[in-house]
Structure 1
Amino acid sequence: MILQLSGNYPGLTIAANRPGPHSVVMVDTDLLRIAVEEAQAGLAEGGIPIGAALFDSDGTLLGRGHNRRVQDDDPAMHAETSAFRNAGRRANYRGTTMVTTLSPCWYCSGLVRQFGIGRVLVGEARTFQGGHDWLAEHGVEVTILDDPGCVAMMTEFIAARPQLWFEDIGK
């Protein structure tokens, strides 16, 4: 089943309970697992549990990373930024997929648009809305998996460390 999110953006879908052994959700869930591992690593380091990974069109992992704002004392080191930096320089990023455990903020959404990343796979967008609608409006294919594990991880973190969370989202 595909559910449309707010607005009428043809590139934006929420994937939920799509059956079948070869469905896109199963592949996407495998990609998300790498971002979740990164989020868990960030949390274990005392940071904010957001992870990301950048994949080529054939599913090759190019780079992975997690939010390191706390660990590096660097306000620009978001998960998507970390994964992007770890992917290294490329002639172009068309055809790549940015996988992130949480809807990308405006800063990271700008990175996606600036470098022409064609697809964003989001673990969850309940705890933070981010810029996924804007990305979809501008031609980026956005899929929100609404993963219960991602929702639980962020919900628990926000409850335990609200000041750090609000710092991270600029409130």
Structure 2
Amino acid sequence: MTARNDAQPVAEPTLETKAEVEPTIRRAALSDEDYMRMALDEAALAACEGEVPIGAVVVCDGEVVARAHNRRETDLDPSAHAEFSAMVAAARALGRWRLTGCTVYVTLEPCLMCAGLMVNARIDRCVYGAPDPKGGALGTLFDVSHDERLNHEFEVRSGVLADEAATQLRSFFRARRAAAKRPPTLGDSHCVQLSGTPIIR
């Protein structure tokens, strides 16, 4: 599997920045909501790239080790889901494929593929925002996380900042539908002018 451009391990802080970061971490541990906000930021990046706005963050022992967002269209890769890419990047950052001790934060309930990877990677927990009524595999349509027939089970927390995650998705698809209904203009790349009438290619 090739590395995705955006799903990178989080760089270690330098000695200079560690002094600034560590007191903050000692004062207050980040909550599930804080990490989900980071995932929502990743989802916003996906929307800016024309991708479905889903973002993910992998946290191991209280430290963000990877973050990613959907890139299926950009990479022409059906596996380039946010959480899948983030788990691959986390494994590389940690130098191990087993993601024990890790929590995956993702803005939309994972699909079967991504939930299956969570089982295979042996994550400790998954925290997701909005449920996915058409493909959710952590409780909505299926529950891969607690299937006793599989070799690993993990904790799931759902509904964290679900309204914000759902709003991002609704806004994205609303804008996409509006753009599809708009009549083509000469400035569009798929429209040419022939004898005074715009023709769509």
Distance 1:68 1:129 in 2: 18
Q: Partner of 2:156 in structure 1?
A: 142
**1:76-126 deviation line (CA, Å, top 9, x unaligned):** 111011111222132521121010000001110010001111100001115
TM-score by length of 2: 0.62
Unaligned runs of 5+ in 1: 1-23, 163-171
Correspondence 1:27 to 2:31: yes
Which amino acid is the alignment partner of residue 167 of structure 2? A
Which amino acid is the alignment partner of residue 152 of structure 1? T
Distance 2:160 2:99 in 1: 25
Further displaced range: 150-159 or 122-131: 122-131
Q: Is the 8 A contact 1:125 1:146 kept in 2?
A: no
Q: Is the 8 A contact 1:93 1:115 kept in 2?
A: yes
Distance 1:128 1:62 in 2: 30
Distance 1:158 1:86 in 2: 28
Which amino acid is the alignment partner of residue 145 of structure 2? A
Unaligned runs of 5+ in 2: 1-28, 148-152, 178-201
Q: Is the 8 A contact 2:54 2:108 kept in 1?
A: yes
Correspondence 1:81 to 2:75: no
Alignment CA distance shift 1:142-1:125 (3 Å)? same
Determine which structure has more spread, i.e. the larger CA radius of gyration: 2
Cα offset, 1:74, TM superposition: 1.2
Alignment CA distance shift 1:92-1:136 (3 Å)? closer
1:118 alignment partner, one of 124, 128, 142: 124
**1:120-164 deviation line (CA, Å, top 9, x unaligned):** 0001115655111213323311001252111111122233447xx
Correspondence 1:92 to 2:95: no
Q: Is the 8 A contact 1:64 1:83 kept in 2?
A: yes
* Identity among equivalent pairs (%): 34
Which amino acid is the alignment partner of residue 67 of structure 1? N
Describe how 1:1-171 pairs up with structure 2 within 5 A. Answer: 27-56=31-60, 58-87=61-90, 88=92, 89-90=95-96, 92-125=98-131, 128-133=134-139, 134-138=143-147, 139-147=153-161, 148-161=163-176
Distance 1:127 1:32 in 2: 20
Alignment CA distance shift 1:75-1:94 (3 Å)? same
Give the root-mean-square deviation of aligned CA atoms: 2.0
TM-score by length of 1: 0.73
Alignment CA distance shift 1:65-1:91 (3 Å)? closer
Distance 2:135 2:77 in 1: 23
